Homo-oligomer: A and B are copies of this chain.
Amino acid sequence: MPSADTSTTDLARLIISCPDQHGIVAAVSDALTTLGANIITLDQYSTGVEDGRFFQRTVFHLPGLAARRPEVEAIVSEHLEPRFGMQWQLTEVERPKRVAIFASKTDHCLLDLLWRHRRGEIPMDITMVISNHPDLAADVRSFGIPFFHVPVDKADRSTAENQHLEMLRGNVDLIVLARYMQILTPEFLEQVEVPVINIHHSFLPAFIGAGPYQKAKDRGVKLIGATAHYVTEDLDEGPIIEQDVIRVSHEDDVAQLTQYGADVERAVLSRAVKWHCQDRVIRHANTTIVF
């Protein structure tokens, strides 16, 4: 299990991906060292030596980072990017991701995120909670977080989604669906321009769609699970970030499975959000690399 980054001043993360080839690790190390940076951790993965794709997450310390960021970007874009055909992203550890949480009536995933945020366990700012129901307003506001009630008309989602887009645009780096029981349209996903993480209440790809605990009961499985994944246009088919399971027995009815499942859901979603906010998760086709 990846652990948290603890100190943050003058720390940056450089996330890269490119076709696998000789010399990438050394070139990146050399470039950063030339700037005076000290490499703290460096994780890398290649899908294969021939025709593979290479991924690297480098955490480094550079005194005066905020002022010298353009220098770093220049070296990467002018030297590393063209040489290796590199895609890259540079983030400052001191600037947490701005997160909007979407919820409905169920509170366990939402409360777990709010509480971990308050404890400082996840490097994020929760800028708002949006819900299609008013029920959780008091809980959210007791954590000092704004709560917005945006009802959704299932026949025409555009009004609600336009309202969402107005509130979100420029204000968030990540959307988390914490048991939000509404479908996001492809149009919304295209326009929102930030990643969306969802928690599905089954061990995907088992029990895709609605009512997974009822399906699990009917099939007589001995473990139930939960899956955090990035949302794509294909429902329940997006890249998986994290999964976990819990043991159940023939004695447990659907209500009991739902109760046990809630514990797995909140744990899995919180880990996925934490890792995303630490830039540990890289999407590759329909899978993820989690450093």
Contact = CB atoms under 8 A, between A and B. Distances in A.
A255 to B, nearest CB: 7
A94 B129 CA distance: 37
A41 interface: yes
Contact of A245 (B108, B223, B252, B290): B223
Given A108-B115, A243-B222, A249 B33 contact: no
A1 B249 contact: yes
A108 B266 CA distance: 14
Contacts of A287: 218-220, 250
A237 to B, nearest CB: 9
B29 A251 contact: no
A42 B38 CA distance: 16
B22 A251 contact: no
A242 B255 contact: no
Interface string A8-32: 0000000000000011011001101
Given A206-B205, A289-B250, A256 B6 contact: yes
A263 to B, nearest CB: 7
A66 interface: no
A67 B46 CA distance: 27
A205 B204 contact: no
B220 A244 contact: no
Nearest to A263: B267
A3 B249 contact: yes
Given A142-B142, A223-B243, A247-B1, A33 B23 contact: yes
A4 interface: yes
Interface in A150-183: none
A259 interface: yes
Interface of A: 1, 3-4, 6, 22-23, 25-26, 29-30, 32-33, 38-46, 107-108, 111, 115, 119, 121, 138, 142, 203-207, 218-223, 225, 239-245, 247-253, 255-256, 259-260, 263, 267, 284, 286-290
